[in-house]
Chains A and B, each alone.
Chain A
């Protein structure tokens, strides 16, 4: 039995508690608040912190967290799940990645942790989330989507010692085949990497695509896999389901468009590709082919642009490098 206070969500015993956490102010002076759900189990155990919609239009994560939370029975839960399904609420409302009120520094919330109480809007948002996160979280799952419905991959931070060991166990229990043990030198400012540095093992799940580009089957599957993560953390009873062999990568290559136009991808998520293989095609407004984009590397497709339009600088393809059975 523990006491949790995350904004107005106060949990002092077994059960489900909801409330709102203030993370800033809107330009009209109203508080900017985000939803908090605390499910406290009947027995003691660790705290799993989950959040979604760090990028506002990655709704599949919010739906997956909701689906998981609805299935949790405090009577069989050890420890607590603290879930914040919608972190970047103003971006969520506007169906965009970053807050419409962020005017500086790009506003990618997943590069702003641990935040700054006197920084930009997104810095301040990160700081308000980081305080209860650091106080309560023993483990952490951050839900993302890439662009297309067939996105299915995961990352964990392979930190030294038990933090890395636990994170890898969570990734294997989640069980997506394609997994990046993310070098600590990349993705600085993400809750994954900053959490790992603070001793909190974590996992990023990339499931489904942007906006409405995900299915309820994906949501149900992700919720089942998250239950398996809870089992490996001994927070839920039952045998840990074995998902089979996984593929680890050494890093990823992020290919951004250097031209604009109508866009059609030529590869699917999960597909093996060879250097030089065509991964996307660009067309002009008359439908004429104007460029074929070759892959700069060998690897596995983790994510692709969805099209049908693309300006320069958007992501054409995200490639997992040096795949190896693990």
Chain B
């Protein structure tokens, strides 16, 4: 069995290997180290790479990867699962989306792939991670959360080739009804888009809500859906669950708030909305109604701001466009 080495995580036999991948250095000179788990099956098979907390406070993904990896048995696993559960670890520690050490370029790690070896703090993280991802991954899944507890949607880079078709199969096995076959020209710099263009079928799931918003049920459900993906990929035995038909979108509308204040949403993720339909209510500091927020487009609510306060420029709503059964 050949050795897989990712930082200090070295796997050369069936079972779980753990270690850390260095992705940079802190201002005091100590290393930034992101945790790596390699679960090796007893039988040969493909390598599935998963990571979470590209955005540091999207902890639902961390717990989902922990539950998935600890539930796997080497004797029934074909191939290898590589899981990095807390990718943007300095942001993870600070309970924020982006690294507190990033001063440039916005620091959205999911716009920095494939990274730059001598770029900004976040570009260097992306570089260190992507070198390993491209070398080892046959398939790639990226876990995110959006804002609220009821978030359940997914996307895959819809390349017009076998990579896109394989990703479509992963999306169906994961089985979230709201799924975006992402046009190849959006989300440039996302790990999923970058990996797909390098020939690695990729998938991104948005589950459960930011920080403490998620439930143990969402974690367990997402872990089971990941097992279903692994059954589909031939990495696990067992009967596949059919989650039913999916709703595909042509694209999404990502709407930023142009008004600040106290905010209370009035729609849930998965709801159908019309253009101009109220989606939430603003209040001023005195509790007086201060205007409604409206959906700019018809479609399905993929994500919406959690409130209770919102500043201009924050993501107000994310709408899946042109829903059609697929």
Contact = CB atoms under 8 A, between A and B. Distances in A.
A is bound by B: yes
Interface of A: 18, 34-35, 37, 59-60, 62-63, 65-67, 69-70, 85-86, 92-93, 95, 148, 211-214, 216, 262, 283, 285-287, 306-309, 311
B143 to A, nearest CB: 14
Interface stretch (B129-137, B163-171, B306-314): B306-314
Nearest to A18: B286
A266 B264 CA distance: 30
A95 B262 CA distance: 12
Contact of A287 (B66, B95, B148): B66
Contacts of B93: 309, 311
Given A286-B35, A307-B212, 8 more contacts: A35-B285, A62-B262, A63-B308, A92-B309, A216-B264, A286-B37, A286-B85, A308-B212
A95 B311 CA distance: 11
A308 B18 contact: no
B309 A37 contact: no
Interface string B268-292: 0000000000000001111100000
Given A63-B262, A92-B309, A286-B85, A308 B63 contact: yes
B287 A69 contact: yes
Interface in B192-240: 211-214
B62 interface: yes
B70 interface: yes
B287 A85 contact: yes
B92 interface: yes
Contacts of B92: 309
Given A59-B308, A69-B287, A95-B309, A287 B59 contact: no
B219 to A, nearest CB: 10
A85 B285 contact: yes
B5 interface: no
Contact of A285 (B85, B211, B283, B311): B85
Interface of B: 18, 35, 37, 59, 62-63, 65-67, 69-70, 85-86, 89, 92-93, 95, 148, 211-214, 262, 264, 283-287, 306-309, 311
Given A37-B287, A63-B308, A306 B212 contact: yes
A37 B287 CA distance: 9
7 contacts: A65-B287, A66-B287, A70-B287, A86-B285, A211-B211, A212-B213, A286-B35
Contacts of A309: 59, 92-93, 95
Contacts, number: 79
A100 to B, nearest CB: 14
A287 B69 contact: yes
Contact of B309 (A59, A286, A287): A59
A108 to B, nearest CB: 19
A265 to B, nearest CB: 11
A308 B262 contact: no
Contact of B62 (A35, A62, A66, A308): A308
A321 B59 CA distance: 33
Contacts of A85: 285-287
A66 B286 contact: yes
A304 B195 CA distance: 41
Given A212-B306, A287-B70, A309-B92, A67 B287 contact: yes
B85 A37 contact: no
A107 B89 CA distance: 28
Contact of A35 (B67, B86, B286, B309): B286
Nearest to A66: B287
Contacts of B213: 212-213
Contacts of A306: 212
A287 B85 contact: yes
B35 to A, nearest CB: 4
Nearest to A89: B285
Contacts of A307: 212
B123 to A, nearest CB: 23
B33 to A, nearest CB: 9
A35 B70 CA distance: 51
A222 to B, nearest CB: 14
A-B residue pairs, 6 tightest by C-beta: A66-B287, A287-B66, A35-B285, A285-B35, A59-B308, A212-B306
Contacts of A66: 262, 283, 286-287
Contacts of B262: 59, 62-63, 66
